Structures are given as C-alpha cells and as structure tokens.
A and B are shown apart, each in its own frame.
Chain A
Amino acid sequence: AQKITQTQPGMFVQEKEAVTLDCTYDTSDPSYGLFWYKQPSSGEMIFLIYQGSYDQQNATEGRYSLNFQKARKSANLVISASQLGDSAMYFCAMRERGSQGNLIFGKGTKLSVKP
C-alpha cells in the first residue's frame, strides 16, 4: 500500500485564486512529520512547509498553509493568491520515527497557473 497518495496528477488554477493540493498518508506511527516540496521546471527541490503529527495548529508559511486533518490522515497544501511562478510539480512527503530521516514521497501533482 502506498504510504503517500496524491490523487491529482495535474491541476489548473487561475492566477490570484487559491488552490488545494491533496495528500493522504498511511502510517501506524503516532510520531511523524509531513512535508511539502516544490519542483519547478528547472528541477530543484524546494522545501515549502512542515507539519508535525503532534502540532495542534496548522502550519503556515507565507502564502502556503497545510490543512492537517489527523483523523482523516490528510495533509493538503493550500496556496493562496496563486502566481504564475507557482506553476510546478508539488510533492507531499512523510517522515516516520526510526526512518533515519528518510522522506517517503508521493508521486506529485503538476500545478499549472493560468494568467
């Protein structure tokens, strides 16, 4: 079974609108971390946001926020006020306790922002 599932291979959003990228995860470990990375067409992996399993508040970083629903094992990324530069692949990833720091990645969602 996949540990990280991103069900949207591709999405379109109009510039200046908000968009939600879905991510569900599967773990029996009560202690875990969830990460989102952006990969633009240039190829580098850019860290966006982190949410810990014990964190009470949803994480926010500028225009990025993480909608963390622990009971549903969901960690959706919300991008507000989309910009053309947000067009990229977005990867959800999870780190479990005892994983020696390794991140398990989903297959990604390609976001395209339309002018």
Chain B
Amino acid sequence: NAGVTQTPKFRVLKTGQSMTLLCAQDMNHEYMYWYRQDPGMGLRLIHYSVGEGTTAKGEVPDGYNVSRLKKQNFLLGLESAAPSQTSVYFCASSWDAGRTGELFFGEGSRLTVL
C-alpha cells in the first residue's frame, strides 16, 4: 500500500538549474496538492489540482509550475531554482474537498539550492 510517493527524496541544485518533483498516488484521489515547509512557517500551499488536467495557484506559487496530465500524478517544476526555494516539499492528496477528508501526505522531498 504505497499511498503517496514522492521522488526524489533529496536533491541539491545550483542556482538557475531546473528540476521536477514527481508525486504519484494510488488511491484514485481527485484532489492533489503541493506544499512547502520552512522552519517556523508551517506548511504553505504552492499549487493544487482538483482533477486530471486542472491546476490552480495556492498561497506561494511564484517560481513554480505544475502539471496533472494523469489523475495519479502531480508534477512540480522549478524552471530556474533560487536559494529561496530551499525547502522541504510535500505532496498530498484527498478524496474529498469537503469539510471532512484528511490529506494523505508523501514523505517529503528535501531540496537545497546553492
């Protein structure tokens, strides 16, 4: 029972490089999310998707792009990485966008931009 899987788990980039984080879920969830976690800041929403082929901006979308070509996958891209994007990134999915329905999280991806 994989749940939500993120790859890679760790990555070091140089300023200006690009990369893509992959999130895959096997629970047939419609809703998927990308958060970043910084010390003392809790989790903040970057982008989200309410279904295959849809994406929307969250609280801190600048510098990131996303795609949801398949229902089970949600990709987060950094076109030109900056040191301010050093963070731990979490993908999450949910079956329900109502009041109930917890988010299921991946294990996180630690990104360092030098």
| B102 partner, pick from A35, A99, A107, beta carbons under 8 A | A35
What 0/1 pattern do residues 22 to 63 of A give for CB contact below 8 A with B?
000000000111010100000111010010110000000000
Task: Tell me the minimal C-beta distance from A111 to chain B in angstroms.
Answer: 15
If the complex has contacts A100-B31, A107-B42, are A31 and B99 also in contact, measured as CB distance less than 8 A? yes
Q: Please list the residues of chain B having a beta carbon within 8 angstroms of any beta carbon in chain A.
A: 31, 33, 40-45, 48, 50, 56, 58, 88, 90, 92, 94, 96-105, 107-108
If the complex has contacts A105-B42, A105-B43, are A33 and B107 also in contact, measured as CB distance less than 8 A? no
Q: Taking chain A's interface residues, is the majority helix, strand, or loop, or is none over half, making it mixed?
A: loop
Taken together as a complex, chains A and B put the C-alpha atoms of A95 and B48 apart, in Å, by: 14
- A52: chain B residues within 8 A (beta carbon): 99-100
A68 within 8 Å of B (CB atoms): no
B107 contacts A100, CB within 8 Å? no
| B99 partner, pick from A32, A91, A102, A107, beta carbons under 8 A | A32
B56's nearest neighbour on chain A, judged by CB, is A100
A99 contacts B100, CB within 8 Å? no
- B45: chain A residues within 8 A (beta carbon): 102
A50 contacts B100, CB within 8 Å? yes
Which of A99, A100, A101, A108 is most buried by chain B, counting CB atoms within 10 A of its CB? A101
If the complex has contacts A44-B108, A100-B50, A101-B31, are A95 and B99 also in contact, measured as CB distance less than 8 A? yes
A107 contacts B31, CB within 8 Å? no
- B98: chain A residues within 8 A (beta carbon): 33, 97, 101
| A102 partner, pick from B58, B104, B105, beta carbons under 8 A | B58
Taken together as a complex, chains A and B put the C-alpha atoms of A102 and B98 apart, in Å, by: 10
If the complex has contacts A43-B108, A44-B108, A91-B42, are A102 and B48 also in contact, measured as CB distance less than 8 A? yes
